Structures are given as structure tokens and as C-alpha cells.
Amino acid sequence: MGKRSQEEKFQEKKSREKKIQENTIIMESYLQTVFRRFKKHRLAMVSLIVLGILCVLAILAPVIAPYDPNAIVGDFGAAPTKEFWLGTDQIGKDVLSRLLYGMRVSLLVGVLATLISTVIGVVLGLLAGYFGGIIDMVIMRITDIVMSFPYMLLVLVAAAIFRPGMWNMILILGFVDWPGIARMVRGNVLALRETNFIKGNIVAGMSVPHILFSEILPNTAAPILVYATSVLALSMLDEAALSFLGMGVQPPTASLGNMLNGAQSLTVLTNQPWLWIPPGLLIVILVTAINFVGDALRDALDPKA
Amino acid sequence: MGKYIIKRILIAIPVLIGITIIDYGIMCLVGSPLEMMQGPRVSAGAIEAKEIALGLDKPFYVQYFIWLGQLLQGNLGYSIKSSQAVSVMIGSHLGPTLLLMGVSLLVSLLISIPAGIYSAVHQYSKGDYAVVTTSFVSSSIPSFFLSLLLVYLFTVKLGILPSSGMTTLGTGGGAADVAQHMVMPVIVLAVSMAGSNIRYIRSSVLEILQQDYMRTARAKGIGRFRVIYKHGLRNALVPIVTVIGMQIPTLFGGAVIIEQVFSWPGLGLMTMNAISNRDYPVIMGVCLLSAIVVLVANLITDIMYAVVDPTIQLK
């Protein structure tokens, strides 16, 4: 008797292992398909590599930056030399070091703002789509209200009220960017709720949080990911614009946007191009790369293609 | 049709009330505008008198209803900074902004409609690839950086375009002068809009090109050009209407930055000044106006759908 049950257990274990193996194979092959399709988009591959390098540079900024970004190390507004590759700013800080640290701040603002808005948008979208009725109506009306404000105006007003600064900037962008994601998730949930497997889950008596987050969410993950890349690109542009206007990240902390702030004066614009062209170009490169990656992801994750 | 419009307006009313409440809530967080006038030369009594005169001593919800009641009588309040009526201030700054926005929208459509259609018709060709790549770059350039580049090129290096204002100081102005001042702001706004417009129109036209009626038209043997421009373009009007509707809020926001950079004397510049002075009746007036514009633009977009596409049934 004992031997038999051991044998049974062994068999069971084996079949379970086989199942897990099968599952992992399916998982891998899905990711492989996505990656294979992604690789077809050559510009996006280049963008991904560029983004990777820039992110590493940003993360390693404290190690590789030649000078302290906030320390006065050279002449005032000196042109690029061997010592200072990108010159110095009006009060003698090294532009290259500030550029590396600024990229760090800009990426951090973009990523965290995107995370916040994605979480808010996903949760509200799931609730509105799944429960419908009055909850749906209230959430969608709030979405309408937030969407009716011209985006930039809302952010500017909020930035003026909550004292400009990096963390406030992250919160403001995060709390303003979510309506698009909420609408998209709601639409997907409405469609998914009618499918048999979700109906099956309801009949099986699964808890609502489980159905929402473990059954429905993974099935709308792909469009959310694509949408999040465009939100990332937009929030980095907004951070730059706000910091440029002096309503965002405040000096002495460098961000790519506030490094361009000096170019509002005509002397800097005319005589010291090394102060404003590199950070501007870096923003363009970062945002373009993110947009290309997002576009390729959209194609790669599209189940119809 | 009439019923539909009324229904849409009724739906818009709670949204509008929500907008005013949120707007007012944010403004209450701003802190008192009187902080700005505090100083050694202003006595506490004077501040108190001003506070009562402005109604700031009452609880915030009472202030909200006072403001709302006046609003219904067409009174947007008075600027705390200049004591001008907000409606008069908005009225005098609205013209330049509408001019800038209108021309930019037109220019961006003139770029993006042909580019989007070309790109869709020649899908996967080198031309298509170039158009799409350019469109991505153009929507990735921060508008203020593009402005700086243009000013550097056209004002500093070539010296052919003025970099700020709407008219040359000391001259009477005139249409040619205004047009010259408009060139750079219009380019920047149009470029920043054109990027997403091109991609949107391209993907919509691609969808249209795969429709059965397009195949039928081709099978009838009429030329390629006529198939696209007679059968395709008419149906492409729906996405184009969508694009215009989508751009209105973007335009309002973009104008704030562009007007600041080019010192264009419009609503955006006025709003930035109001924000830095905490002149909240003005800020609220602008927010309310822009929210109404967005709501109306959405409504008009929906109605336009029905006009350009008879298969859409409005309920």
C-alpha cells in the first residue's frame, strides 16, 4: 500500500513537472515571437541599444562624471576644452557632469510619473469596466473632467501651487496623465468581461480582486505596456518644458529642461551654444528612441499581425 | 439630430460643474493672493480691509457659490493684480491666440494630410519609411527647443525674422508685419502637431485602402489617382475630423509655452503672468474658458462625424 502511494506520488510529481516545463516553453516562445518581431524594426533595435547605453550612463553618473555637477570648477561660461568637454556654464559648473546628472533626473521623473499614472489608470479602468453602472459613470465623468482641462495648463497651474520641485513634478505628471490609460483599460475590460473564460471564473466563484488582477489584467498587459511608453515620452517632454519655464526641477539640481533655461537670454543663445544644444539634443534623442521602441512594441505585441 | 445635441449638452453640464469645483478646489490650495502684497509698507489693517473687500474672509464654499452666481450673470470677476475685469482681459488677449492657433492648425493639416495619405498609399516604400521616421522625430522635439533652434537660425544667424512680440515696436504693425512675427511660432506649433497627425491619418487611410469598396473601385478600372482621391479621401474625412478635435486641447497647452518663448501677446502669456502672480480670478477664468472650448470642440467633432459619414447613426 505504502509503495503504491509512493509510486503514485512520483507519477504525479513527474506529470506536474512536465506541465510546468510545457508552460515555460509556451511562455518563452511567446516572448521569443515578440522579440523576433521586434528585431525586424531596425530603427527600434538601434533605439533600444541607445536607450540602454544612455540609461547606464545616467545610473553610473556619480562614477563617471568628471566633476561634481553642483561645484564651481572652472571659468564662467568657458567654451569646450580638453579639460571640460562641453565647456562650463555661466557660474563655472562643468556642463558634461551636469548633463549626466540631468539625464538621471529627467529619466527618473519620466519613469516614476509613468508608473504612477499607469497604476492609477489601470486600477480605475479595471473598476469602471468590470463593475459598470454607477461606478463606471462616476469614474468616466472624472476622466472626462481631467481630460477637458488643457493638459499643459493644468500641469502649470498645479506646478505653481505645489511649489516647483522634482518630487512635486513627478506627482503632478503622474496624477494628470492617467485618463488615457483608464479609458483604454476600461474598453478592454468591457470586451474581456464578455468572454467565456471570465464568465467561467465568475461561475467558479473566484474573488473579484483575483479575477481583476490575475485573470483580466494579464490579458490587457500588452496594450498597457505600449501606452505606457508613449506616456513616458510625453512626461519627459513635459518635465523638460516645465523645467525650462522655471516651474519644474529647480536649480542647483540639474535636469535636461532647466539646463536649457539659460538659453532664454539672447547672449547665451548667441554666444554659448554648448550650454543649450547638448541637453536639447539629448532630450530629442531620448524621446525619439522611446517613441521608436514603443512603435515597434505595438507591432510586435499586436496579436492580429 | 437636435435631440442628440441636447443630450450631449446635458451630459456636458455635470462635467462642467465638476470642472469649476476642481478648479476652485485647486485655487483654494494656492494660498491667499494677499501674501503677495505683504510687506513692511503695508499695514495689517490694510490687508484685512482688502481681504473683506475681496470676500476672502468667508469660507471657501461660500466664495465658490458667490463666484458661480456671478459667473451665471456673465461676470468672471476682477483681476487681483490689475483690477481689470477678467472677461475684458480674456477678450483682449483672445484674438492673438486664436489667430496663432488657427493658422498653426491649418498649416499642420496642410502638412499632415498629404504626407499621411502619401505614406499610406506607398506603404513600406522608402518614402513611407522617411515620412514615418520624420513624424516620430517631429513629435519628439520639445517645442521650446525647436523654438530656440529657429530663433538661433533665423534671428541670430540670418537676421531675417523677429523673435518676439506680434508687431514691431514703434511701427503701426500691419498684416505683413504680423505675418512675419508669426512665422516661427506657427512653424513650431504646426511641427509639434503634425507628427502625431501624420501617423494617425496614415493608419486610418491604410484601413480604408483595405476596404471592399476600394477593391471594387479598382476593379471598375478607373485610374489609381481617381480611386484614391474620389473614393478614399472622402472616407478619410472621418479621421481628419478626429484629428482636428483632438488637437484643440493640445493647441491651448502648446500655445502657453510658445507664447512665453516668443512673447506672443495672447492668452498663454497672460496665463503665465497670472500664474506667477497668483492672480486666481484670471487663472480660473482661463481654465473655465479652455475647458468649455474643449467640451464644445468634442461636441462639434461628434456632430461632424455624422455630417461626413452618413452611416454613423446618432442616438
pLDDT tens track for A14-32? 666 655 555 555 556 777 8
| Contact residues, B window 102-141, toward A, CB-based 8 Å cutoff | 133, 136-137, 139-141
| B28 occurs within a structural domain | no
Per-residue pLDDT at A151: 75
Grid coordinates standing for A276?
543649450
Averaged pLDDT, A39-64 = 88
Per-residue pLDDT at B134: 92
| B132 occurs within a structural domain | yes
| A247 occurs within a structural domain | yes
Chain A contacts to B (CB-CB under 8 A):
43, 141-142, 144-145, 147-154, 156-158, 160-162, 233, 237, 240-241, 244-245, 257, 260, 263-264, 266, 269-270, 273, 276, 280, 283-284, 287-288, 290-292, 295
As a whole number, the mean pLDDT across chain B is 80
pLDDT in tens, A203-236: 888 888 888 888 888 888 888 998 999 999 999 9
CATH number of the domain that residue B218 is part of: 1.10.3720.10
| B291 occurs within a structural domain | yes
The answer to whether the Cβ–Cβ distance between A153 and B271 falls below 8 Å is yes
Q: In chain B, whose CA is at the least distance from the CA of A152?
A: B253
| B73 occurs within a structural domain | no
Per-residue pLDDT at B135: 92
Q: Is the pLDDT at A241 greater than 80, yes or no?
A: yes
Q: Determine the structural domain holding residue B113 and report its residue range.
A: 86-308
- Counted residue by residue, chain B has a size of 315
Cα B21 from Cα B133, distance rounded (Å): 43
Q: What does R_g of chain A's alpha carbons equal in angstroms? A: 25
Indicate the number of domains in chain A: 1
Per-residue pLDDT at B281: 78
Query: When comparing pLDDT for A55 and A18, which is higher?
Result: A55
| A18 occurs within a structural domain | no
The answer to whether the Cβ–Cβ distance between B148 and A263 falls below 8 Å is yes
pLDDT in tens, B152-166: 888 888 888 887 777
CATH number of the domain that residue A161 is part of: 1.10.3720.10
Indicate the number of domains in chain B: 1
| B216 occurs within a structural domain | yes
In A248-272, which ranges are continuous DSSP H helix?
A: 256-259, 266-271
User: Residue-wise over A100-139: b if at least 16 C-beta within 10 A, else e?
Assistant: bbbbbbbbbbbbbbbebbbebbbbbbbbbbbeeeeebeeb
Query: Chain A partners of B297 at a C-beta cutoff of 8 Å?
Result: none
Q: Determine the structural domain holding residue A284 and report its residue range.
A: 40-300
As a whole number, the mean pLDDT across chain A is 83
Model confidence at A118, in pLDDT bands (50, 70, 90)? very high
Model confidence at A1, in pLDDT bands (50, 70, 90)? very low
| A49 occurs within a structural domain | yes
Query: Chain A partners of B142 at a C-beta cutoff of 8 Å?
Result: 237, 240-241, 244, 257, 280, 283-284, 287
pLDDT in tens, B210-235: 888 888 888 888 877 788 777 777 77
The answer to whether the Cβ–Cβ distance between B137 and A233 falls below 8 Å is no
| B304 occurs within a structural domain | yes
Contact A255, A246 (CB under 8 A): no
Query: When comparing pLDDT for B104 and B47, which is higher?
Result: B104
The residues pairing with B85 across neighbouring beta strands, listed in sequence order, are B78
